[in-house]
Structure 1
Amino acid sequence: MISVFLLFLVARVSARYTADWTSLDARPLPSWFDEAKVGIFVHWGVFSVPGFGSEWFWWHWQGQQPPDPKCVAYMAENYPPGFSYPEFVNGFHAQFFNPEEWADIFKASGAKYVVLTAKHHEGFTNWESPNSWNWNSVDAGPKRDLVGDLGEAVRNRSLHYGLYNSLYEWFHPLYLDDKKNGFKTQEFVKLKLLPELYNMVVRYRPEVIWSDGDWEAPDTYWNSTEFLAWLYNDSPVKDTVVTNDRWGAGCACKHGGYYNCEDKYTPGQLPSHKWEKCTSVDTLSWGYRRNMRLQELMDLPAIIKDLVSTVALGGNYLLNVGPTADGTIPTVFEERLRGVGAWLEINGEAIFASKPWRVQMENATVPVWYTSKGDTIYAVMTAKPPGTILQLQTPKTSASTKVILLGSQSPLPWSPLYPNGGLTVLLPELPRLPGHVWTLKLESVH
């Protein structure tokens, strides 16, 4: 018995991850993430104050060459000459920020995790980072720990909490020096990035680290593998944390935990690796825009269809909203989130903890996406059939097959379509559902 225990201890000690991609990529993804399926992304920062163009406003105004003329004109028309971007922090009051209300909305959306921007490319941290003196939400602007306050409210509702962190900062002097040196020096990484990341993880224990801003330099510059080895071996979240794939130029879709690949990534077929689609209700921005128009927003049917196809292809769906500088979630965003939640209230059985089926989609009577749990499959109709007959080509039925419309208890009449597979279902009058998307539960099929 003692020898067995010693072998167990040796195995535990030897199962440490080394600071290389072969070892790190072999780490199993914590199961909660694949089961969660739906998350909420929140882009909030000093960029919410100008609220113009996108969260990249500072770069478009003063970074890129030539500057975006729309951003230049916006500043000329609304702010005095010589106004600097850091002065926008004085308008970042967050006076109406109520983390309990935000968390209630996120819970009502049906999402299982929330990812907040701890730091975007502008370098402003939404917490009291000791490495970002006077450019953080406690020293300036809101004078409040936004990361901590939201995290507490989110976790009190049994939601997982994650943090977005940009590796690079557009105008940080140390980063610009390293960039000028061809990234042969690492002063920014040693003195700013890594100390801040370690502190953030120990302090807030995020279960998702959503890395970004990696593309200008290789992972060896960012010391990504060393950080991830510590994260997986010794950090307070080593057993539960998940990470994405943005850890250096060329890492996307190749290395890390789950894959984002690119913003709004939509694979044409079932990927072999766990992935996540991040997308935004506002199709033109992740941060809040004062001048957004209704036609520029995803409507509820589009969001639900996007969610369904993403999950059917094995992905998670991370839906973004951009709060205002005063700390409110625009009503139109709240309406979308609550609409998703109302749909998931009825159809969530087909989404949460589901697996991709052997066939992900067919387009016979109407477009149908499939998910599965054991010998039960779910056929999600993303359009209303023209009549009361629905034909499904793919499922193979048995004598014990049962078909149920989610939201209803009574089994539906069905008959075989072919001798070796398929079925014809007699549909009832379909109820009005958010997004006009309905789900059939098919038991004892393969």
Structure 2
Amino acid sequence: MWMLILCLFLRVHARDHHYYKPEWEDLDTRTLPKWYDVAKIGIFVHWGVYSVPAFRSEWFWYYWREEDIVYLVGKAVKTYDMEFGIYYSLMEWENKWYQIDRNNNYNTSIFVERVIKPDIKQLILDYKPSLWWSDGDWDADPSYWKATNFLAWLYNESPVRHRIVVNDRWGSGSYCHHGDFYNCDDRFNPKTLQHHKFENALSLDVQSWGYRRNMVPLDTISISQLLGTIASTVSCGGNVLINVGPTKEGVIPPIFRERLLQMGEWLEVNGEAIYDTSPWYHQNDSLNPHVWYTCKKETYDPLRVSDVPRANDSILSIYAIFLLWPVDDTLSVKDLTNYMKNNNYHIQLLGPEKYTTLDYNITSDVVMVKLPDGANMTSKSAYVLKIS
């Protein structure tokens, strides 16, 4: 285990009493614990021995004695009422037992029985994470890793069985097919509605997941890019996992701190368009590509977390997240038209102190919203309209 993941925000309890068989057909029926869908945003921390030389990337082996960092970080995270998760890389290329299994074309499982199985159970029992992020699995199929046996134990008997969520990296062929949520690939952002919960894992440093001392600002994602990614991902039913690589001292570099603080400031104002939301009938506006939609429903449906609302769902509000302020201070969108033609909707612009009610009209099947003077807006990256 050489990296950590901290997955954020809400504590919402889930209970599932079904006893799962160690078979994908049964494991795949598990209901996603609500806290993960509600949270939407998490922080990924790549911090390991490669942070000592801080050269090239996290793919750097170096001997480094350390304290129980997992315990210390986990304790700190839980103190702030956040969810704590663990990243675990299955492969150890230099391990002699792994090399034996690989040389046997993975027809033996010495490494899994002697290392992986006890290692994973110890981590679960000792640290009780809410999220398990598996990786380093691609050289062998799930049967070698005993993936279904582990997941059955995790869901049925482990101390975190009611709360734990896992990703889809359980061996070749498992990506985008098995898991409480799908990663599919790094930076997975399909920008279309997905019918299974997915996660967009991205690094603020576009060249590395671990800290690099030679990183320059141009190597990092801007706040505009980050907020655009959050909007498009959540609109399509996904969560966002944002990676930072601390220095060897455990300090988050200033450029990463700046991005996280900027994101936090934006969420303080506009977070209701992100947290505890669901996909709406439309995701990206068909006229204005800079607009993404989410909605808030009266009743949470744990069986349909990534689906559009049903006819009998009560929608409390629709959110239009627009990433570019129009030069004429008039926002034009098309996909709201059919829902606003025959109803008395109010449109408000979310702001730091109050909601600003806006005028609008519908012309040629286009909703045209009159915005305030853009020159007076403090944010320069993304904005939210609340339609209710």
TM over 0.5: yes
One-letter code aligned to 1:352: Y
Instruction: Work out the CA distance in 1 between the residues paired with 2:378 and 2:40.
Output: 20
Give per-residue Cα distances to partners, 1:398-424, cap 9 Å, x unaligned.
442000001132311112234xx5422
Are residues 435 and 46 of structure 1, via their aligned partners in 2, closer, same or farther at CA, if it must alter by over 3 Å? farther
One-letter code aligned to 2:362: P
One-letter code aligned to 1:155: K
Give per-residue Cα distances to partners, 1:48-78, cap 9 Å, x unaligned.
11211111134xxxxxxxxxxxxxxxxxxxx
Q: How far 1:344 moved relative to its partner?
A: 0.5
Give per-residue Cα distances to partners, 1:307-343, cap 9 Å, x unaligned.
1111111100000000111221111111110110001
Instruction: Work out the CA distance in 1 between the residues paired with 2:86 and 2:216.
Output: 28
Are residues 365 and 178 of structure 1, via their aligned partners in 2, closer, same or farther at CA, if it must alter by over 3 Å? closer
Q: Which residue of 2 aligns with 1:440?
A: 385
How many equivalent pairs are there?
Answer: 349
Are residues 387 and 287 of structure 1, via their aligned partners in 2, closer, same or farther at CA, if it must alter by over 3 Å? same
Give unpaired runs (5+ residues) of structure 1: 1-11, 59-84, 90-139
Q: Which residue of 1 aligns with 2:127?
A: 204
Q: Which residue of 1 aligns with 2:324?
A: 383
Which residues in structure 2 correspond to 1:209-358 (within 5 Å)?
209-358=132-281
Give per-residue Cα distances to partners, 1:281-308, cap 9 Å, x unaligned.
0000000111111111111111111111
Q: Which residue of 2 aligns with 1:154?
A: 77
**Larger Cα-atom Rg:** 1
Give per-residue Cα distances to partners, 1:74-98, cap 9 Å, x unaligned.
xxxxxxxxxxx43xx1xxxxxxxxx
Q: Alignment identity in percent? A: 42
Tell me, yes or no, if the aligned pair for 1:366 and 1:385 is still in contact at 8 Å. Answer: no
Give per-residue Cα distances to partners, 1:133-185, cap 9 Å, x unaligned.
xxxxxxx2x3x211111111111111111110011112111111111111111
Instruction: Work out the CA distance in 2 between the residues paired with 1:152 and 1:259.
Output: 27
Instruction: Work out the CA distance in 1 between the residues paired with 2:290 and 2:199.
Output: 22
SS at match of 1:355: coil
One-letter code aligned to 2:370: L
Q: TM-score of the superposition, structure 1-length normalised?
A: 0.76
Give per-residue Cα distances to partners, 1:116-144, cap 9 Å, x unaligned.
xxxxxxxxxxxxxxxxxxxxxxxx2x3x2
1:47 is aligned, of 46, 50, 56, to: 50
Tell me, yes or no, if the aligned pair for 1:343 and 1:435 is still in contact at 8 Å. Answer: no
SS at match of 2:358: coil
Q: Which residue of 1 aligns with 2:302?
A: none
1:171 is aligned, of 94, 103, 106, to: 94
Give unpaired runs (5+ residues) of structure 2: 1-15, 298-314
Instruction: Work out the CA distance in 1 between the residues paired with 2:115 and 2:26.
Output: 26
Are residues 226 and 440 of structure 1, via their aligned partners in 2, closer, same or farther at CA, if it must alter by over 3 Å? same
Instruction: Work out the CA distance in 1 between the residues paired with 2:134 and 2:291.
Output: 34
One-letter code aligned to 1:439: V
One-letter code aligned to 2:116: L
Q: Which residue of 2 aligns with 1:414?
A: 360
Instruction: Work out the CA distance in 2 between the residues paired with 1:356 and 1:268.
Output: 12
